[in-house]
Amino acid sequence: MSKNTSQSLFRKVDVDKYTNETYEDDTTADGGVQQGPDQNQVFSLLQSNSNLEALRYILANAPVMVKSQAVKDAALQLAMKVLTSFKSMEIERAVKSLERTELDMLMKYIYRGFEYPVENSSAQLLVWHEKVFQVGGTGCILRVLTDRKRV
pLDDT (tens digit, 9 = 90+) per residue, 115-151? 988 888 899 999 999 999 999 999 999 999 999 899 9
Tell me if residue 6 falls in helix, strand or coil.
coil
Are 83 and 128 contacting, i.e. CB atoms less than 8 angstroms apart?
yes
Dump pLDDT digits (tens) for 78-108: 999 999 999 989 999 999 999 999 999 999 9
DSSP character string of 124-139: HHHHHHHHHHHHHHHH
User: Tens digits of per-residue pLDDT, 49-73?
Assistant: 999 999 999 999 999 989 999 999 9
> What is the band of 2 on the pLDDT scale with cuts at 50, 70, 90?
low
- Confidence at residue 29, expressed as pLDDT on a 0 to 100 scale: 47
Report the 3 state secondary structure along 105-124.
HHHHHHHHHHHCCCCCHHHH
Name the pTM for this structure.
Answer: 0.79
Domain ranges of the chain: 34-146
**DSSP assignment of 85-102:** HS-HHHHHHHHHTS-HHH
Number of Cα atoms under 13 Å in the Cβ half of residue 100: 6
Question: What is the DSSP secondary structure assignment for residue 49, as one 8-state letter?
Answer: T
Decide if domain 34-146 falls under CATH 1.25.40.190.
yes
Query: How big is the CA angle at 46 (ends 40 and 47), to the nearest 5 degrees?
Result: 90
